[in-house]
Amino acid sequence: MNKVELGKQKKQIKKRRRLIFRTIIIMLLFAALIFAVVSNLSADEAAVDVGDEAPDFQLKHLNGSGEQTVRLSDFEGKGVMLNFWATYCEPCEREMPYMESLYSQYQDRGVEIVAVSVDATELVVHNFVEDYNLTFPVLHDKNSQVLDAYGIKPLPTSFFIDENGVVVERVLGELTLEKLEGYLQQIEPS
Amino acid sequence: MRSFKCDACGYENKEGTTICKKCGKPHDQAENSQLLNMRYDGTSIRSKTRNRSIIDKIWNFFSSVKVGVTLIAIALVASAIGTIYPQEMYIPQTVSPEAHYREQYGLMGQIYYQFGFHQLYGSWWYMVLIALIGMSIFIVSIDRGVPLYKALKYQNPKRHPNFLKRQKLFASYADYTKEDKKQLLSNLRKYRYKIIEKDGHFLAEKGRFSRWGPYVNHCGLIIFLIGTLLRFVPFMYIDDFVWVREGETKVIPSTEQTYYIENEEFIFETYGDDEEDQKFAEILAQQNAPIAKHFETSATIYRDISDDITGSEPELEEVKSGNIIVNQPLKINRLALYQDSYQLNEFQSMSFKLHESGDDAEESIVQFTVDLTNPSREYTFDNGFRIKLDQYYPDYELDDGEPRSKTNYPRNPGFVFFVYPPETEQPEISFLAIGHNIDPTQENDYKLGLTGFDVRDVSGLKIRKDLTLPILGVGAFIFMIGLIQGMYWQHRRIWLHPTDNKLWMAGHTNKNWFGLNKEIEKIIKHTNFTMPQDQEEKQHE
């Protein structure tokens, strides 16, 4: 009798061990599967995404007074719309007037608009700024360093950064006036 | 787990066992004449046992060979579908994929696009499919490999008579002497069989390790899959690209703005430049364009040693300098820069002269050069002339009558110049581009003309880092070992079973029965034993 019970007990232990072993193996395999799928889907995503802190940078200010540089951290405490654009990019050209039209209104409410041009030459940017009478700071990323740091692929790409420096929204491509206003409202400091 | 008792020896066998683990008595109800299924040596496959928990059910799903084969078949069909039309990465970048597939391949193309087959190999479901195959391989290996290993490790040389009778090769000898048996065993040893004995029953065995071949092979495959998975980790794998113009210093992508590369010179040679290319003269004459023979980037890699904020002027320290040729990359910290492509003759600067409009000799009044990488706004001269570069289009085109630039690069530059003759505030306007020299008012006293230009080449470099290669190599190597192990060796067993007045002999091999037959022929040499009968063939007769 004792022997039978001992055998039963042994079997129970064996069974439990098998369950633990199988659970571990299956969990490991599923973890690998989830890792593969998630990293595959996020492979194309940019270096800076929603929820990330926007990396600080410093660039030459093209439409300021004199030789000046602007840092992103200069706008701490304000909401910032960071727009990457180029003069040769038609959608960028279309959304610029929208940005200009909302700029003064939202600047009073604590939102700054910063446009980073990735053009090769300053001259073309100056001409563009004059043509469109842009009053918000236009910066020049001559060495494409900020472009690289933000992992920009298509132009335009706009980041909407809240007063704490956290990216709230990342928009690839052209913005309409309504959408732009909606995003600007989102990053208004409370 | 339910078990049952062997009716011959009383051993408690696990449910699912078809051949008693201890005495080898077959437990199926089949007739004695039928050949025994020796798969996994008749042990109970782990998954075939009774199961209740969800874990056991998942385990059973993946351990099924049927499921594994189905998954592989689905992956095969899916992979084939991906080759019907080109994948998205191979279509022209200029058109939207949706339009491209519709226009090129009609309705089928549209369906193809709608289903997402244009990026099939990167789709989540394809990834899941491959991962499921990996899981299946892993679990099947454990599920089958472990019981098989145990069964072969603890073999009982003394087997139930039915076990022997139902082997493919079987013989019963009445007529033999002790010397015959001795000779037989010595022959077996000569052919490197390992012999174990119990109560006069013998088991001669060789090549058991070939049974582990498939499992070794699977281990290699799993290591290989892990290697491919690690490609998603940026630390392990980088695949990027950068265009660098001659004389330009650019940040190397994927290095977090730490490394910069300067293209000092791009060297481009075509066939026909050399005297030794004369042998190709005939074929070269038939070509419309020169054929590239050699291209090479002379480059220097710098490191930004300043810890300033992104965007500020980098403080560059030379790290390495060298030439990049196809298949001979420049390497820094396991990051390799490969020569990938090039663009020749992009404009770098253009020189102009000003002359009087009516002057047929076009005698120069002033001359100046516009640096297209960083053009100045104004050009002033000692003789009082002033020329303002009002508009500059690096890659000029007319878009609805409006001039604009297509790209960032001076491939087709266009200029609007304001010419201020001495002591005047009213400029004369001129538009210049390749093939254009327009005076919009038709009243200009002065005319600008292009006198010369400088060009430079652009080098396209691939940036590559792959630390997964050693893992893939090890995986592939183990895979091959497993394959060789299972392919070139066979697991052969011969049982000798004494009965009251006879000696029974049975043979089994996991593959290559012809080889086993040949070997037995040699083993029974110099004995009175005859060749065992192939019971399968006998049944067919």
Measured distance CA(A91)–CA(B37) in Å, rounded:
71
Strands A111-117 and A58-61: unpaired
Query: Rounded to a whole number, what is the distance in angstroms from the first to the last CA of chain B?
Result: 43
Q: Which CATH number applies to B157-210+490-540?
A: 3.30.310
The structure tokens 């298949």 sit at: B327
Measured distance CA(B118)–CA(B127) in Å, rounded:
15
Choose among B464, B408, B462: nearest CA to B242.
B462
Residues in chain A, how many?
190
Probe site for chain A from B221, B310, B372, B412 (most A CB atoms < 10 A): B310
Of residues B285 and A179, more confidence is placed in A179
Average pLDDT over residues B91-117: 87
Question: Is A49 contained in some domain?
Answer: no
Segments making up each domain of chain B, as ranges: 45-152, 157-210+490-540, 237-345+460-474, 350-453
The structure tokens 């290559």 sit at: B512
User: Same domain, yes or no, for A91 and A38?
Assistant: no
Query: At a CB cut-off of 8 Å and minimum separation 6, what does B398 contact?
Result: none
- pLDDT of the residue at B49: 59
Choose among B349, B106, B137, B368: nearest CA to B246.
B349
SS (H, E, C) B72-120: HHHHHHHHHHCCCCCCHHHCCCCCCHHHHHHHHHHHHHHHHHHCCHHHH
Of residues B538 and B504, more confidence is placed in B504
Question: Is A51 contained in some domain?
Answer: no
Domain housing A40: 1-44
User: Same domain, yes or no, for A160 and A121?
Assistant: yes
Chain B hits for A39, Cβ within 8 Å: 232-233
Confidence category of residue B211, pLDDT binned at 50, 70, 90: very high
User: Same domain, yes or no, for A181 and A103?
Assistant: yes
- pLDDT of the residue at B379: 93
CA distance A46 to chain B (A): 12
Q: Does A123 touch chain B (CB under 8 A)?
A: yes
Confidence category of residue B2, pLDDT binned at 50, 70, 90: low
Checking if the pLDDT of A171 tops 60, the result is yes
Residue type, B226: I
pLDDT in tens, B363-382: 899 999 999 988 999 999 99
CA distance B33 to chain A (A): 36
Q: CA B254, B256, B258 angle in degrees (round to 5)?
A: 110
Q: How many CA atoms lie within 13 A of A144 on its CB side?
A: 21
Of residues B351 and A14, more confidence is placed in B351
Question: Is A53 contained in some domain?
Answer: no
B119 CB neighbour count, 10 Å cutoff: 14
pLDDT in tens, B135-190: 999 899 888 898 899 889 989 999 998 899 889 999 999 988 889 999 999 999 99
Q: What is residue B122's DSSP assignment? A: G
Specify the range with the lowest mean pLDDT, choosing from B34-38, B122-126, B439-443. Answer: B34-38
What is the count of residue pairs from A and B with beta carbons less than 8 Å apart? 118
For the question of whether the overall pTM of this predicted structure is more than 0.80, the answer is no
Option in B124, B257, B375 nearest A40 (CB) = B124
B391 CB neighbour count, 10 Å cutoff: 19
Strands A138-140 and A58-61: antiparallel
Option in A35, A88, A120 nearest B406 (CB) = A88
- pLDDT of the residue at A32: 85
Domains contained in chain A, number? 2
Option in A39, A41, A86 nearest B408 (CB) = A86
Checking if the pLDDT of B469 tops 90, the result is yes
Chain B hits for A127, Cβ within 8 Å: 390-392
Checking if the pLDDT of B50 tops 80, the result is no
Option in B59, B309, B408 nearest A71 (CB) = B309
How distant, in Å, are the alpha carbons of A44, B148, B305, B318 from that of B337?
21, 50, 21, 16
Average pLDDT, chain B: 89
Average pLDDT over residues A120-130: 92
User: Same domain, yes or no, for A37 and A62?
Assistant: no
Q: What is residue B140's DSSP assignment? A: H
Average pLDDT, chain A: 88
Q: What phi-psi label fits residue A30: left (phi over 0), alpha (psi between -120 and 50 degrees) or beta?
A: alpha
SS (H, E, C) B310-372: ECCCCCEEEEEEEEEECCECEEECCEEEEEEEEEEEEEEEEEEEEEECCCCCCCCCEEEEEEC
Long-range own/partner contacts, residues B59-63 (CB < 8 A, 24 or more apart): B59/A22, B59/A26, B59/B139, B59/B143, B62/B132, B62/B135, B62/B136, B62/B138, B62/B139, B62/B140, B63/B136, B63/B139, B63/B140, B63/B142, B63/B143, B63/B144
- pLDDT of the residue at B92: 77
- pLDDT of the residue at A1: 56
**H-helix or E-strand spanning residue B4:** strand B3-5
Distance of CA A147 to the CA centre of its chain: 12
CB of B527 closer than 8 Å to CB of B189: no
pLDDT in tens, A64-77: 776 788 999 999 89
User: Same domain, yes or no, for A29 and A67?
Assistant: no
CA distance B36 to chain A (A): 30
B288 CB neighbour count, 10 Å cutoff: 4
Q: How many CA atoms lie within 13 A of A136 on its CB side?
A: 25
- pLDDT of the residue at B466: 93
CB of B357 closer than 8 Å to CB of B430: no
Query: At a CB cut-off of 8 Å and minimum separation 6, what does A60 contact?
Result: A67, A68, A69, A139, A140, A142
- pLDDT of the residue at B541: 66
Measured distance CA(B402)–CA(B301) in Å, rounded:
42
- How deeply is B277 buried, as exposed, middle or buried, from its count of CB atoms within 10 A (0-12, 13-18, 19+)? middle
Secondary structure (3-state) at B242 = strand
- How deeply is B109 buried, as exposed, middle or buried, from its count of CB atoms within 10 A (0-12, 13-18, 19+)? buried
- pLDDT of the residue at A43: 62
User: Same domain, yes or no, for A39 and A82?
Assistant: no
Contact check, Cβ <8 Å, B257/A71: no
Average pLDDT over residues B347-362: 90
Radius of gyration of chain A (CA): 26
Query: At a CB cut-off of 8 Å and minimum separation 6, what does A181 contact?
Result: A102
Confidence category of residue A101, pLDDT binned at 50, 70, 90: very high
Choose among B9, B139, B125: nearest CA to B75.
B125
User: Same domain, yes or no, for A177 and A124?
Assistant: yes
CB of A48 closer than 8 Å to CB of A150: yes
Segment of B21-30, B49-58, B320-329 carrying the highest mean pLDDT: B320-329
User: Same domain, yes or no, for A115 and A160?
Assistant: yes
**Does ipTM surpass 0.90 in this model?**
no
Secondary structure (3-state) at B497 = strand
DSSP letter string, A38-103? HHHHTTTS-SS-TTSBPPPBEEEESSSSSSEEEEGGGGTTSEEEEEEE-TT-HHHHHHHHHHHHHH
Question: Is A170 contained in some domain?
Answer: yes
Query: At a CB cut-off of 8 Å and minimum separation 6, what does B24 contact?
Result: B156, B159, B160, B163
CA distance B392 to chain A (A): 6
Confidence category of residue B267, pLDDT binned at 50, 70, 90: very high
- pLDDT of the residue at B331: 93
Assign residue A159 the CATH number of its domain.
Answer: 3.40.30.10
Q: In what order do the strands lie in the sheet with B292-304?
A: B249-251, B259-270, B292-304, B316-325
User: Same domain, yes or no, for A10 and A81?
Assistant: no
- pLDDT of the residue at B20: 85
Residue A145 backbone phi and psi in degrees, to 5: -75, -45
Chain A hits for B373, Cβ within 8 Å: 120-121
Chain A hits for B389, Cβ within 8 Å: 123
User: Same domain, yes or no, for A39 and A64?
Assistant: no
- pLDDT of the residue at B47: 62
Q: Which of residues 44-103 of A touch B (CB under 8 A)?
A: 55-59, 69, 71, 86-88
Secondary structure (3-state) at B302 = strand
User: Same domain, yes or no, for A66 and A119?
Assistant: yes
Checking if the pLDDT of B487 tops 70, the result is yes
Q: Which residue of B has its CA nearest to A117?
A: B408
Secondary structure (3-state) at A153 = coil
Question: Is A137 contained in some domain?
Answer: yes
Choose among A188, A164, A59, A13: nearest CA to A112.
A188
pLDDT in tens, B287-325: 888 888 889 999 999 999 887 788 888 889 999 999 999
pLDDT in tens, B389-419: 999 999 998 888 888 898 888 999 999 999 9
Residue B504 backbone phi and psi in degrees, to 5: -100, 145
Q: How many CA atoms lie within 13 A of A117 on its CB side?
A: 28
CA distance B229 to chain A (A): 6
User: Same domain, yes or no, for A68 and A126?
Assistant: yes
Contact check, Cβ <8 Å, A120/B408: yes
Q: Which residue of B has its CA nearest to A141?
A: B311
Checking if the pLDDT of B78 tops 60, the result is yes
Confidence category of residue B501, pLDDT binned at 50, 70, 90: confident
Average pLDDT over residues B205-229: 92
Confidence category of residue B497, pLDDT binned at 50, 70, 90: very high
- pLDDT of the residue at A49: 85
Specify the range with the lowest mean pLDDT, choosing from A5-14, B61-70, B114-123. Answer: A5-14
A8 CB neighbour count, 10 Å cutoff: 10
**H-helix or E-strand spanning residue B142:** helix B124-153
